[in-house]
Homo-oligomer: A and B are copies of this chain.
Amino acid sequence: MPKRVDHDERRAEIGRALVRVAARRGLHAVGMRDVAAEAGISLRLVQYYFRTKENLLLHGLQQLTEEFGERVTARVRSAGENPGPRAVVEALLTTALPTDEESRAFHLVLTSYALLAVTDEALAAQPYLQRPDAAEDAVTGLLEQAREAGLLAPDTDARTEAITLLALAAGLGTSVLTGQRTPDSATEVLRHQLNRIFRRTQSS
């Protein structure tokens, strides 16, 4: 029954299976046989579409970061037609918080990758982890824009505040992952910090 098959779609499907099993048992414990079983296919096919395990892991990381970008833009877009800088920044930051079960799995695996890249040079060479400062630049730009519009104190250091917000969101995210904090609590803390920076807000 071998019909012609879309390799990219197949790879994406296997990649999703990889993320699911990684979220359940930990990225370190993921084997090719587990991924195959999760995807409902044979081990041979996982080998066929990704020749080696390293390839599989690399593709999983790429897929995950791309999905993350899509999540951010989707969330920003859902902030309204003509959202203010505050709404955009808030949408951007709250994407980093694991709220439902899906995003929880998502962030667990992505954080595992980031930590893995510290000791694995093949992973560290991936461009997806090399250029994570795009978010920093984006938030910095939004804050400068808000400052020009008079929404921020005039002496605000946009970049420092951007770095602070991003690191805070990341830290809150992991604390939610490890069960030290509830998603609601983390969101509230993040909002509190935003309220401080944005002296006046214009809407949701």
Contacts and interface: CB of A to CB of B under 8 A. Distances in A.
Interface in A90-135: 108, 111-112, 114-120, 124, 129, 132-133
Contacts of A175: 167, 170
A114 B119 CA distance: 17
A25 to B, nearest CB: 6
A41 interface: no
Contacts of A28: 27-28, 116
Given A180-B132, A192-B160, A111 B119 contact: no
A106 to B, nearest CB: 13
Nearest to A181: B163
Copy total for this chain = 2
Q: How large is the interface on A (under 10, 10 to 19, 20 to 34, 35 or more residues)?
A: 35 or more
B170 A192 contact: no
Nearest to A120: B26
B119 A25 contact: yes
Contacts of A116: 26, 28
A151 interface: no
B120 A115 contact: no
Interface in A166-187: 166-172, 174-175, 177-181, 185-186
A157 interface: yes
A132 B186 CA distance: 16
A17 to B, nearest CB: 16
A189 interface: yes
A6 to B, nearest CB: 32
27 contacts: A24-B119, A26-B118, A26-B119, A26-B120, A27-B28, A29-B119, A108-B115, A108-B118, A108-B119, A111-B115, A115-B115, A115-B174, A117-B178, A118-B178, A129-B178, A133-B180, A157-B192, A160-B188, A160-B189, A160-B192, A164-B168, A164-B192, A167-B172, A167-B186, A167-B189, A168-B171, A170-B174
